[in-house]
Amino acid sequence: MRPGDTARFAAQSLIRARGRTLLMLLAMSIGVSAVVILTGLGEGARRFVTGEFASLGTNLVIVMPGRSETTGGAAALMAGETPRDLTVDDYLALTRNPLVSLAAPVMVGAAGAARGRLEREISVVGTTSEFLKIRHLSMDRGKFLPSGDPSRAVNVCVIGEKIKQELFGKEQALGEWLRLGDRRFRVIGVLATGGRSIGVDIQELVVIPVASAQALFNSPGLFRILVEARSREVMPRLQDQIRSTIAERHQGEEDVTVVTQDAVLATFDNILQALTFTVGGIGAISLAVAGILIMNIMLVAVSQRTREIGLLKAVGATRAQVTTLFLSEAVLLALLGGLLGLFFGYLGTTAIHGVYPDMDSQAPLWAVLAAVGVSSLTGLVFGIMPARQAAALEPVEALNG
């Protein structure tokens, strides 16, 4: 038989047995696209979480008051120990360390913000000019906090985009006054949207100089000191030095917790791993469903195909010819189904990306390969197996179905 005729025969039997072909293509593309979309979603969620941490900077060392590993102040309270406050002076001491490239103190609190008759509760961060760079934020308009002596309280503030919308609407915000608690602050900048950081929506943030925050909240204690190391390699050394510097300043007591970004990531490792397993599980289930669909359609067609094989043999087809014909048909079908599934999967993930731009929902390569592999393999196996069995029958048995 000529190769061209084989291909034509296979294509013809797919085109003219329209119902069965469409069902098969449907099953295969549902299977493949389900895997692509679901694992894409899972993987997107995983990347979102990892991205959140990565955006905090990988050279970041976080200094927190109180001695505990991950639970912060709560453990210290349970231990019956009141941790000494971290102060701006502690922060200044750390900036003198040569291994430090950048450092920023962080105070966090809530205050009522008011402009004219508009008022709302707002998260306030007190920090220094370095904060912008350490947290990888950028400005939409105006300037960030001025650099200079952190112990000087300047009454200026930088606001998030949403705060700007809510309190100023379409009006100019730069240069206007904003009341926080019982103080007035001049707006000198608006933060750009798009940046994100765990737990805090920067769009709903007001940033003021750390000394102003201390006055506003009437407390000297810092919430964190963020320290960026010069390089990854010096981080362990820097951690030790930070501990000893602080201990020196706190009468020999090591009462701070120093964690790195990596340590925080490690804490989340279990969650991420569970997420990966979930993604894999979802993929496996959709594949199994698709495989069974394909199998069913193929098996339903068997008795009809058996008669056809009997006829082919009666007019002189060899067993190899019959197998080749059905193999070509199955390959063609598997190819079409796989491509169609990838196409729909791509459409799906693109649609998800359109709805949630933050989610980079791309199916991992292993899932795509497994999806296409399993669906074409089931298609091939269940397309050829009955054909091989029928081809092995005596023609008269095959003819009688």
Partner 1 sequence: MITLEGINRIFQVGDQQVHALDDINLTIQPGEYLSLMGPSGSGKSTLLNILGLLDKPTSGRYLLEGREITSLSDDEQATVRGEKIGFVFQFFHLVPRMSAFENVELPLVLAGMAPSVRRERVNVILEQLGLMDRAHHRPDQLSGGQRQRIAIARATIMKPSLLLADEPTGNLDSRSGTDVVEVLEKLNAGGITLVVVTHDGQVGKRAGRRLRMVDGAIVKDERG
Which of residues 312 and 380 has its CB atom nearest to partner 1 in the complex?
A: 312
CB of 300 to partner 1, least distance (A): 16
Task: Give yes or no for residue 395 binding partner 1 (CB under 8 A).
Answer: yes
Single out the segment in contact with partner 1 by CB under 8 A; choices: 53-61, 238-246, 313-321, 342-350. Answer: 313-321
Distances (CA, A) of 264 to 268, 338, 384: 7, 41, 53
CB 88 within 8 A of CB 233: no
Which of residues 2 and 117 has its CB atom nearest to partner 1 in the complex?
A: 2
Among 308, 334, 370, 372, indicate the residue that binds partner 1 (CB under 8 A). 308
Task: Give yes or no for residue 303 binding partner 1 (CB under 8 A).
Answer: no
CB of 387 to partner 1, least distance (A): 15
CA angle 151–104–183, rounded 5-degree value: 45
Q: Which pairs from 337-340 meet CB under 8 Å and 24+ separation?
A: 337/24, 337/25, 337/27, 337/28, 337/29, 337/32, 337/375, 337/376, 337/379, 338/28, 338/32, 338/372, 338/375, 338/376, 340/25, 340/28, 340/29, 340/32
Chain positions 316 to 345 lying near partner 1, rule: CB under 8 A, are 316-321
Q: Which residues pair with 63 in a beta bridge?
A: 225, 258
CB of 384 to partner 1, least distance (A): 18
Task: Give yes or no for residue 369 binding partner 1 (CB under 8 A).
Answer: no
What is the SS3 assignment for 284-346? HHHHHHHHHHHHHHHHHCHHHHHHHHHHHHHCCCCHHHHHHHHHHHHHHHHHHHHHHHHHHHH
Q: Which helix (H) or strand (E) holds 139?
A: strand 139-142
Which of residues 19 and 169 has its CB atom nearest to partner 1 in the complex?
A: 19
CB of 310 to partner 1, least distance (A): 8
Instruction: Provide CB contacts within 8 A for 333, sequence distance 6+.
Output: 14, 21, 24, 25, 28, 379, 383
Chain positions 7 to 26 lying near partner 1, rule: CB under 8 A, are 9, 12-13, 16-17
Which of residues 167 and 332 has its CB atom nearest to partner 1 in the complex?
A: 332
Which of residues 151 and 400 has its CB atom nearest to partner 1 in the complex?
A: 400
In this structure, what token pair is assigned to residue 103? Answer: 């450092």
CB of 324 to partner 1, least distance (A): 11
CB of 392 to partner 1, least distance (A): 9
CA angle 192–195–198, rounded 5-degree value: 140
Among 243, 307, 353, 388, indicate the residue that binds partner 1 (CB under 8 A). 307
Which of residues 232 and 319 has its CB atom nearest to partner 1 in the complex?
A: 319
CA angle 86–89–92, rounded 5-degree value: 110
Distance CA 317, CA 313 (A): 5
CB of 356 to partner 1, least distance (A): 46
Among 121, 171, 269, 394, indicate the residue that binds partner 1 (CB under 8 A). 394
Q: Phi/psi zone of residue 393: left (φ > 0), alpha (ψ -120 to 50 degrees), beta?
A: beta
Q: Which residues pair with 185 in a beta bridge?
A: 178
Length of the chain in terms of residues written: 401
CB of 13 to partner 1, least distance (A): 6
Which of residues 149 and 397 has its CB atom nearest to partner 1 in the complex?
A: 397
Which of residues 248 and 397 has its CB atom nearest to partner 1 in the complex?
A: 397
Single out the segment in contact with partner 1 by CB under 8 A; choices: 33-41, 124-132, 242-250, 307-315. Answer: 307-315
Which of residues 135 and 313 has its CB atom nearest to partner 1 in the complex?
A: 313
Instruction: Tell the burial category of 108 from Cβ atoms under 10 Å away from its Cβ (0-12, 13-18, 19+).
Output: middle
Among 198, 266, 274, 311, indicate the residue that binds partner 1 (CB under 8 A). 311
Which of residues 106 and 309 has its CB atom nearest to partner 1 in the complex?
A: 309
- Please count the residues of this chain forming the interface with partner 1, following the rule CB under 8 A: 27
Among 10, 275, 312, 390, indicate the residue that binds partner 1 (CB under 8 A). 312
Among 45, 46, 313, 345, indicate the residue that binds partner 1 (CB under 8 A). 313
Distance CA 10, CA 13 (A): 5
Interface contacts to partner 1, rule CB under 8 A: 1-2, 5, 9, 12-13, 16-17, 307-308, 310-321, 394-397, 399
